[in-house]
Structure 1
Amino acid sequence: MTIKVIGAGYGRTGTMSLKAALEILYGQPVYHMESILLPTPPHSTADDLPAWDAASRDAAGPGHPDWQALLVDRGFVAALDFPIALHVVDLAAAFPAAKVILTVRPSADWCRSWAHLLDVKFRVIRRWGWAAPRLRMAGAWTTRTIFGPLFGAWDLPEGGRLDAATCVAAYEAHNAAVVAAIPAERLLVLPLGSGWEPLCAFLGLPVPAVPYPRVNAAGGGVETFFRRVRNTALAARAADVAPRAAVAAAVVAVAVGVGVALARARRP
């Protein structure tokens, strides 16, 4: 098993749909930001977010976890979306037989969709982060590695807004850099809504007898996704707190029992 496809496109360029499409084509899981925020063992786990967070804080390291352990050893056939898109050149060198797919959409459309996603995400974090450390970690990590350095939006956790011109410039610069860095025979530029034909032709695979997936499309997709992220983070917090709460309750019960016994013993 090795990585067959590397996704170079930024989030909100159809990466969720491409993930679903590749899973249909290969019958194996595909790594995506969803794998980090909504882990599905045994392939992705709750440890992925702390691993990415720690890697981003290591100034002497590569800024990412070990690819072999993160992706290959757990059976992923492809990886895409943020934060994978930040490491395309490194991944392309690590997996020289893998093909690279750059998902794209018109810049203005992408910027509007991206701004909406981030608005929903950080509203959820500001409202629920106090109760869920994973939410706070996710907000801090993505700001440190994506929103701040790429888009200059360091104040998103406090309610700041994206600057459209800065976002579009970063998006277009990234796409141009990928086209310049990856040999043409190894790269597919895939506009949003292209369907199966160009993807399957590029990968040398037959077109499936099912419609091309449309995941997280317009409507409630973003809101639903981040409600799930919130619920997962709150459940993780509850699972972490429950054993300690049980111990505390037991200690209190013992203390009360000892107090009652001592009080009885003092009675004449």
Structure 2
Amino acid sequence: MQRAFEILGYANPYHFSSMYGNVKDCDMWKEAFDAKYHGRGSFGKEQWDQLLGHCSAVTDFPCANFGPELMDAYPDARVVLVERNVDKWVESFGTLIKEAYHPTSTILGILDPTWMGRISSVGIAMIAAMTGQTTEKQIMLHARTSYEKHYQWVREEVRARSVPLLEYRLGDGWLPLCEFLGKEIPRDANGVEIPFPHMNEKDNIQAVFSVMARKSLGNVVRNVFAAACVLFLVAWISSKLAF
């Protein structure tokens, strides 16, 4: 949906991947999770503006963990609830969990705390918030129930605020989405309708984690090289001072 919003002209639609290029966002997301789920500190309109003020749309988690808070902060917003085939969602979610809890991700999070570690911590927090679980096995056992509860929760929160809601099913194309948002169906320079964006969730998740792992490994190598250079310099200076 992020790409669909971009095609419709929404600037900077926020997505989990938005943190990759601006990892400092992770610190604010952690503050938001701490405030909502652990009662530590507060996170209100000022903080949401700081985190998401440059965005004209938000998609995906962790934004979806904070539906009520975002509706309260931005009461003129509209909500698009994207429904998927539950079995397919569970399959792609399983791929996400497998990659997120893979030893490689864990090790890189430890060795690369300023990038991979920060992103991973937000990912783990949002999964725990959605499922109420913290282990890979228990998360998957509760995946289907968590999906159903999340959608019911969104409907109830939207209804309580009388916020406009579109229950959109993947595969419905542009028409219902454009009618709901008051947008024209997007067309290219020749007047041909632009295909609704689609990607294979499972393949995309695996590709994303692969790219993240390579970037994180590069960070680790640079950090190790820098540390080695510092140690060499310290040793060299010490040897000179000894004489």
Kept in 2, the 8 Å contact 1:115–1:162? The answer is no
What is the CA deviation profile of residues 147-195 of structure 1, one whole-angstrom value per residue up to 9, with x for unaligned ones?
Answer: 3343243123xxx45334x221121111112122214761111112222
Q: Which runs of 4+ in 1 moved over 6 A?
A: none
- Tell me the CA shift for residue 146 of structure 1: 2.9
Specify the SS of the correspondent of 2:17.
helix
Higher share of residues assigned helix? 2
Q: Establish whether residue 146 from structure 1 lines up as the match of residue 129 from structure 2.
A: no
Specify the SS of the correspondent of 1:193.
coil
Residue aligning to 1:35:
18
Q: Which amino acid in 2 is paired with 1:48?
A: D
Residue aligning to 1:23:
6
Specify the SS of the correspondent of 1:150.
helix
TM-score by length of 2: 0.81
- Tell me the CA shift for residue 236 of structure 1: 4.2
CA distance in 1 between counterparts of 2:196 and 2:221 reads 38
Residue aligning to 1:224:
207
Kept in 2, the 8 Å contact 1:32–1:80? The answer is yes
Kept in 2, the 8 Å contact 1:26–1:77? The answer is no
Q: Which amino acid in 1 is paired with 2:49?
A: Q
CA distance in 1 between counterparts of 2:79 and 2:209 reads 28
What is the CA deviation profile of residues 96-133 of structure 1, one whole-angstrom value per residue up to 9, with x for unaligned ones?
Answer: 11111111112222112101111022214135334222
Alignment of 1:211-250 (within 5 A): 211-215=195-199, 217-218=200-201, 220-237=203-220, 244-250=227-233
Q: Establish whether residue 132 from structure 1 lines up as the match of residue 106 from structure 2.
A: no
Asked which structure has the greater CA Rg, the reply is 1
Provide closer, same or farther for how the CA distance between residues 63 and 46 of structure 1 changes in structure 2, counting only shifts above 3 A. same
Aligned residues: CA RMSD = 2.6
- Residue number among 81, 85, 97 corresponding to 1:106 in the alignment: 85
Provide closer, same or farther for how the CA distance between residues 193 and 162 of structure 1 changes in structure 2, counting only shifts above 3 A. same
Residue aligning to 2:190:
none
Residue aligning to 1:200:
178
Unaligned runs of 5+ in 2: 188-193
Residue aligning to 2:97:
118
What is the identity percentage for the equivalent residue pairs of Structure 1 and Structure 2? 25
TM-score by length of 1: 0.75
What is the CA deviation profile of residues 225-247 of structure 1, one whole-angstrom value per residue up to 9, with x for unaligned ones?
Answer: 01222233344455556655443
Provide closer, same or farther for how the CA distance between residues 125 and 219 of structure 1 changes in structure 2, counting only shifts above 3 A. closer
Kept in 1, the 8 Å contact 2:65–2:129? The answer is no
Unaligned runs of 5+ in 1: 1-17, 40-44, 263-268
Residue aligning to 2:135:
155
- Residue number among 167, 187, 197 corresponding to 1:189 in the alignment: 167
Residue aligning to 1:81:
60
